[in-house]
C-alpha cells in the first residue's frame, strides 16, 4: 500500500496584509494552539521554520518556549528551514541568502542543539538557478518549496558547479485551511494513482497561522482505516525516500510572478543600500556583535512579501521602511565612527583648511568618486577650492558641483566638493583641500551626446496587478516619452553632466548622463515625476550590436537569457517605416541582480544597477524596467481598492551606470559591475596632530583574491576572520589569504566561505561544499 506522510505545519507571513505586531500576535496564538493539540494527541508531529518567529516566543513567553524545546527534544517538533525568514529567492543577493543561513542556523544550534539541514521556502515566487550552491555551501542537503513550473514531486536540483540538493515540491499547497472532506477524498484517490510510492501532504491551517483543524484531523484519522497515513517530519520522510532514483533538474525554478521584480521600487532601493552599508561596515572591522541586530532586521525584510513589493501600504510605511531605515542608520553611524577613529590617529597638519580621508574596500586598485557637501571657500578668500593634494604634494582636480540646496550657511559659497582619486588596494589615503595653479581641461559632452542618441523611454500597458499575474513580457506599447530639451548642465575637469528633459502624458522625466574623469562608465541619474498608472516604464538602450547574447546577473554567475542561436529563426515581420522588417525573438521579462548586458563578438553594452531587478531584450534593444505603478497588494480576482493609492507616483529617482565596452567575456561582467557599484568610504577631516588617547582600531588583514570576487569580509562572532568569495569563472582560481588560511582554491562557478583565526591563533576553518 502506498504511504502518505502528513507534514503538519502552519504557514504564517509575519507581515503582508497585516502589520508586524499583528503577525507576532497571530504566531504566538498559533504556537499555543499547536502545543495544546500536541499534548492531546501524542502521535502528532509538527514542522516549523523561521528563526525570527522562534525569537518572538523566546522574548515574550519563556514557558511556551521551553515547551517547544521539550517537543524538539522528543522528536515531535521539527525545526526546519534554518533561515531568519522564508526569503525571496530570486532577486535577493546571494550574500543575503548566505546570511539567512548563518544567522538562522546559529540560532537553532545555540537554542535547541539542532543542526538544520533542510531548507524551507514554500511561498517565495521562484527559486534562482544558483540557490543549490548557496544551500550546499551553508550546510543544507534538502530543499522544500512550491511555486515553480510543472516538475516531479521529488528531484535532485543541480547548479552549474555540480552542487545539488534533494527537492520536495509540495504537491498541492502548504496548508489545508479551506479544505473540505470531498477535497480530501479526491486528494487521497489521486495519491493512490500517483507512481510515487511515498508522498508528503502538507497539513494545517495556514496563510495567517492558525495551527491545526480538529475537524480535518478527525477526517484524517477516519481515512487511516483505508489508507496508510502517518504523521511525520520532513527528516523522516527524506530518510524513507533516500534510496529512490530521482530525476535531475537544472536551472532556475521559475520564473514566477515577474511583476515582483519591479513592484514597489522604494523597498528594493532601501534593501540594496542597507545591504551594501552593512557589508561596508564589516570591512572596516566593526565587530559582528554591533551589527547583529541590524543584520537580523535586514534579513527579516527580505521576506517574500516584503522585498517583492506585494504588501499593503500601511505595512511598508509602519514596519518595512522604518525598519530598513534603522538598518541604514546603524551602518552609516558605525562607518562614520570607524573612519573618524582612523582619522584621529593621523597627522593631518598638511591640511591647512581640512580635507578628506578615504579608504578603498576593494582588493584591487580603485578609482574612487569622492563627493562631500560643504564650503567652497570656507575662509571667505574669494577663491574656491579646485584641487585635492596628498601629503606628498600630488594633486587631483576638484570640482564644485551644484548642492541639493540653492544656498549655503550664512549665504557663503556652498556645493558638492567632487574628485576622482586612484586608491591602491586595501589602502587609506588622506587629501587636503587645496588651490591648484594648473588649469585642468573640462571633460565636455561628446560621450554623453553619442549615448543620448541611443536612449529613449517607452511605456507599456500593464494590468497584471502587484504580482504580475500572467506576465511574461511587456508587449503592448502605449507610447514613447518625448525629449523636449537638452542642457549642458555641468562641465568641469572632474565631472560633466548632460541633462535632458522628457515628457509623457502628465509625467516628466529628467535624465542626467554623467561622466567622471578616469571612469569609463557613464553614470545615469533619472528623476521621475510620474503620474501614470497601469503601465510599465522602460529605459531603452539601442546598442546596435549584431545578434548579441543577453545576460543578467543572477547570483554567483551570469544567466544567459538569449544566446546567439536564438536569432537563427525570424519569428515575425512588422510593417515599419514604409517597409517590411524582420523581428527577432525577445527574451521576455527576466530578473537581474546588479547588472545585465548584451554581448556580441565585437562589443558589449552593460547596465549596472544596485536596486533595479527587471529587464528584457527585444528588437535588438536592451530594456530596463524602471517603474511599474500598481495598487498596493492588488490581487486578482479580488476587486481593487485605490484608497491607499498607487506606487511610483510623484517624484522618485533611479541611479545606474551604462558601460559601452569592447568584447567582454560574461565571466568578467560580475566583477566589473561590483567594482563600479561599491565605492570607497570617505569622510571629511580637519588639520590636527596625531591623537594620543585613541580608541583601538582593528583592520582586517589584506587578501589577494583576484580574479575571484569579494562578497564580504569581516570579523565574525568568534573574532575570527571570515571571507565570502565567489568565482563566476568556468575554471578554478587560486586566492591567497593570511596564514594560517594560506592559499585556497575556489572551484569554478562557486561560492565559498572561509574562516581563520588571525595571526598566531589556531588554524583556519574552511566551510567548503
Q: Are residues 191 and 95 in the same domain?
A: yes
Q: Is the pLDDT of residue 327 over 80?
A: yes
DSSP for 6-53?
A: EEE-----SSSSS-HHHHHHHHHHHHHHHHHHHHH-TT--EEE--HHH
Last residue within a domain, chosen from 281, 315, 344: 344
Each residue of 524-583: pLDDT tens digit? 999 999 999 999 999 999 999 999 999 999 989 999 998 766 655 544 444 444 554 555
Q: Are residues 121 and 9 in the same domain?
A: yes
- pLDDT at residue 174 in the model: 86
What single-letter DSSP state applies at residue 601? S
DSSP for 679-703?
A: PPEEEEE---PPPSS-----PPPP-
Residue 439 lies in a domain: no
Q: Are residues 299 and 399 in the same domain?
A: no
Residue 690 lies in a domain: no
What single-letter DSSP state applies at residue 384? -
Q: Are residues 423 and 326 in the same domain?
A: no
Largest CA distance in the chain: 95
Q: 437: how many CB neighbours lie within 10 A of its CB?
A: 7
**Three cell numbers at 725?**
568569495
User: Which is higher by pLDDT, 73 or 175?
Assistant: 73
Contact 675, 320 (CB under 8 A): no
Q: Are residues 408 and 501 in the same domain?
A: no
Q: Length of the chain in residues, anyone?
A: 769
**Three cell numbers at 364?**
584591487
- pLDDT at residue 762 in the model: 39
Each residue of 413-463: pLDDT tens digit? 999 999 999 999 999 999 999 999 999 999 999 999 999 999 999 999 999
Residue 688 lies in a domain: no
Each residue of 83-104: pLDDT tens digit? 999 999 999 999 999 999 999 9
Residue 683 lies in a domain: no
Close Cβ partners of 218 (under 8 Å, ≥ 6 residues apart): none
Last residue within a domain, chosen from 297, 320, 344: 344
- pLDDT at residue 192 in the model: 79
Last residue within a domain, chosen from 344, 365, 395: 344
Contact 462, 534 (CB under 8 A): yes
Q: Are residues 328 and 360 in the same domain?
A: no
Query: For the chain, what is the domain count?
Result: 5
Contact 476, 461 (CB under 8 A): yes
**Three cell numbers at 728?**
563566476
Give CA–CA dist 751/768, Å, rounded.
9
Name the band, by pLDDT with cuts 50, 70 and 90, for residue 196: confident
Residue 697 lies in a domain: no
Span 629-642, mean pLDDT?
Answer: 95
The CATH number assigned to the domain holding 393 equals 2.60.40
Q: Is the pLDDT of residue 211 over 60?
A: yes
Span 722-751, mean pLDDT?
Answer: 96
**Three cell numbers at 308?**
517583492
Distances (CA, A) of 481 to 263, 474, 504, 525, 654: 21, 16, 5, 17, 17
The CATH number assigned to the domain holding 93 equals 3.20.110.10
Q: Are residues 113 and 93 in the same domain?
A: yes
Q: Are residues 636 and 534 in the same domain?
A: yes
Which 3-state string (H, E, C) describes 655-676? EEEEEEECCCCHHHHHHHHHHH
What single-letter DSSP state applies at residue 317? I
Span 496-500, mean pLDDT?
Answer: 99
Q: Calculate Rg over the CA atoms of the chain.
A: 28
Contact 710, 745 (CB under 8 A): no
- pLDDT at residue 766 in the model: 36
Q: Which domain holds residue 369?
A: 355-434
Name the band, by pLDDT with cuts 50, 70 and 90, for residue 482: very high
Q: Are residues 369 and 401 in the same domain?
A: yes
Give CA–CA dist 749/707, Å, rounded.
12
Span 238-263, mean pLDDT?
Answer: 95
Among 238, 227, 163, 226, CA closest to 200: 238
Name the band, by pLDDT with cuts 50, 70 and 90, for residue 172: confident
- pLDDT at residue 763 in the model: 38
Give CA–CA dist 718/365, Å, rounded.
30
- pLDDT at residue 584 in the model: 58
Q: Are residues 391 and 474 in the same domain?
A: no
The CATH number assigned to the domain holding 339 equals 1.20.1270
Q: Are residues 415 and 452 in the same domain?
A: no
Contact 97, 275 (CB under 8 A): no
Q: What is the percent of the chain where pLDDT is above 90?
A: 86
Residue 196 lies in a domain: yes
Q: Are residues 116 and 242 in the same domain?
A: yes
**Three cell numbers at 257?**
510572478
Residue 722 lies in a domain: yes
Give CA–CA dist 509/481, Å, rounded.
8
Give CA–CA dist 557/538, Å, rounded.
25
Contact 99, 295 (CB under 8 A): yes
Residue 698 lies in a domain: no
Give CA–CA dist 243/186, Å, rounded.
29
Among 476, 385, 474, CA closest to 432: 385
What single-letter DSSP state applies at residue 403? P
Place of cell 484519522: 221
- pLDDT at residue 475 in the model: 92
Give CA–CA dist 595/610, Å, rounded.
8
Amino acid at each position: 500500500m502506498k504511504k502518505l506522510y502528513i507534514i503538519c505545519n502552519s504557514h504564517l507571513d509575519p507581515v503582508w496584509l497585516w502589520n508586524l505586531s499583528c503577525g507576532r500576535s497571530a504566531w504566538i496564538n498559533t504556537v499555543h494552539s499547536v502545543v495544546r493539540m500536541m499534548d492531546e494527541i501524542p502521535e502528532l508531529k509538527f514542522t516549523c521554520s523561521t528563526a525570527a518567529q522562534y525569537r518572538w516566543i523566546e522574548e515574550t513567553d519563556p514557558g511556551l518556549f521551553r515547551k517547544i524545546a521539550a517537543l524538539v527534544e522528543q522528536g515531535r517538533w521539527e525545526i526546519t528551514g534554518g533561515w531568519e525568514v522564508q526569503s525571496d529567492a530570486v532577486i535577493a543577493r546571494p550574500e543575503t541568502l548566505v546570511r539567512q543561513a548563518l544567522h538562522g542556523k546559529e540560532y537553532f544550534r545555540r537554542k535547541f542543539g539542532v543542526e538544520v539541514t533542510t531548507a524551507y521556502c514554500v511561498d517565495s515566487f521562484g527559486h534562482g538557478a544558483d540557490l543549490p550552491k548557496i544551500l550546499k555551501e551553508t550546510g543544507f542537503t534538502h530543499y522544500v518549496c512550491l511555486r515553480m513550473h510543472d516538475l516531479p514531486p521529488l528531484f535532485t536540483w543541480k547548479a552549474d558547479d555540480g552542487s545539488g540538493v534533494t527537492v520536495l515540491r509540495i504537491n498541492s499547497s502548504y496548508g489545508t485551511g479551506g479544505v473540505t472532506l470531498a477535497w480530501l477524498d479526491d486528494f487521497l484517490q489521486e495519491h493512490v494513482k500517483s507512481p510515487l510510492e511515498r508522498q508528503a501532504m502538507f497539513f494545517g491551517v495556514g496563510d495567517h497561522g492558525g495551527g491545526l483543524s480538529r475537524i480535518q484531523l478527525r477526517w484524517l484519522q477516519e481515512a487511516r482505516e483505508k489508507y496508510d497515513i502517518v504523521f511525520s517530519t520532513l527528516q523522516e520522510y527524506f530518510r524513507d525516500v533516500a534510496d529512490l532514483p530521482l530525476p535531475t533538474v537544472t536551472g532556475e525554478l521559475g520564473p514566477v510572478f515577474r511583476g515582483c521584480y519591479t513592484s514597489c521600487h522604494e523597498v528594493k532601493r532601501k534593501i540594496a543600500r542597507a545591504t551594501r552599508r552593512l557589508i561596508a561596515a564589516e570591512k572596516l572591522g566593526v565587530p559582528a556583535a554591533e551589527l547583529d541586530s541590524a543584520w537580523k532586521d535586514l534579513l527579516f525584510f527580505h521576506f517574500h512579501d516584503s522585498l517583492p513589493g506585494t504588501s499593503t501600504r500601511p505595512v511598508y510605511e509602519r514596519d518595512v521602511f522604518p525598519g530598513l531605515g534603522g538598518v541604514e542608520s546603524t551602518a552609516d553611524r558605525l562607518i562614520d565612527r570607524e573612519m573618524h577613529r582612523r582619522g584621529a590617529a593621523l597627522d593631518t597638519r598638511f591640511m591647512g583648511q581640512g580635507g578628506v580621508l578615504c579608504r578603498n574596500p576593494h582588493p584591487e586598485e580603485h578609482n574612487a568618486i569622492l563627493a562631500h557637501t560643504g564650503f567652497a571657500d570656507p575662509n571667505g578668500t574669494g577663491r574656491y577650492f579646485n584641487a585635492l593634494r596628498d601629503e606628498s604634494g600630488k594633486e587631483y582636480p576638484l570640482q564644485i558641483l551644484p548642492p541639493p540646496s540653492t544656498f549655503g550657511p550664512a549665504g557663503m559659497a556652498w556645493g558638492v566638493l567632487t574628485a576622482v582619486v586612484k586608491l591602491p588596494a586595501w589602502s587609506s589615503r588622506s587629501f587636503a583641500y587645496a588651490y591648484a595653479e594648473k588649469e585642468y581641461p573640462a571633460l565636455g559632452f561628446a560621450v554623453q551626446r553619442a549615448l543620448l542618441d541611443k536612449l529613449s523611454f517607452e511605456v507599456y500597458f500593464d494590468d497584471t496587478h502587484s504580482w504580475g499575474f500572467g506576465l511574461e513580457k511587456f508587449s503592448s506599447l502605449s507610447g514613447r516619452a518625448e525629449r523636449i530639451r537638452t542642457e549642458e548642465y555641468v562641465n568641469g575637469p572632474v565631472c560633466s553632466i548632460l541633462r535632458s528633459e522628457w515628457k509623457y502624458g502628465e509625467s516628466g522625466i529628467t535624465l542626467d548622463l554623467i561622466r567622471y574623469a578616469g571612469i569609463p562608465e557613464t553614470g545615469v541619474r533619472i528623476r521621475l515625476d510620474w503620474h501614470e498608472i497601469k503601465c510599465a516604464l522602460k529605459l531603452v538602450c539601442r546598442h546596435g550590436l549584431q545578434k548579441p547574447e543577453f545576460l543578467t546577473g543572477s547570483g554567483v554567475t551570469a544567466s544567459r537569457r538569449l544566446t546567439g542561436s536564438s536569432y537563427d529563426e525570424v519569428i515575425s515581420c512588422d510593417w515599419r517605416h514604409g517597409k517590411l522588417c524582420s523581428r527577432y525573438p525577445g527574451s521576455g521579462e527576466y530578473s537581474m541582480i546588479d547588472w545585465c548586458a548584451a554581448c556580441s563578438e565585437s562589443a558589449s553594452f552593460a547596465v549596472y544597477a544596485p536596486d533595479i531587478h527587471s529587464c528584457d531584450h527585444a528588437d535588438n534593444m536592451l530594456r530596463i524596467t524602471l517603474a511599474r505603478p500598481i495598487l498596493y497588494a492588488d490581487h486578482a480576482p479580488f476587486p481593487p481598492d485605490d484608497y491607499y493609492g498607487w506606487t511610483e507616483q510623484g517624484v522618485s529617482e533611479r541611479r545606474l551606470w551604462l558601460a559601452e565596452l569592447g568584447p567582454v567575456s560574461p565571466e568578467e561582467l560580475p566583477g566589473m559591475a561590483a567594482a563600479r557599484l561599491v565605492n570607497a568610504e570617505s569622510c571629511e577631516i580637519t588639520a590636527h596632530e596625531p591623537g594620543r588617547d585613541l580608541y583601538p582600531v582593528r583592520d582586517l588583514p589584506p587578501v589577494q583574491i583576484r580574479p575571484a570576487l569579494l562578497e564580504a569580509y569581516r570579523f565574525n562572532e568568534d573574532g575570527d576572520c571570515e571571507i565570502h568569495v565567489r568565482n563566476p569563472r568556468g575554471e578554478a582560481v587560486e586566492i591567497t589569504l593570511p596564514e594560517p588560511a594560506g592559499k585556497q582554491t575556489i572551484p569554478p562557478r562557486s561560492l565559498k566561505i572561509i574562516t581563520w583565526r588571525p595571526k598566531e591563533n589556531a588554524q583556519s576553518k574552511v566551510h567548503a561544499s
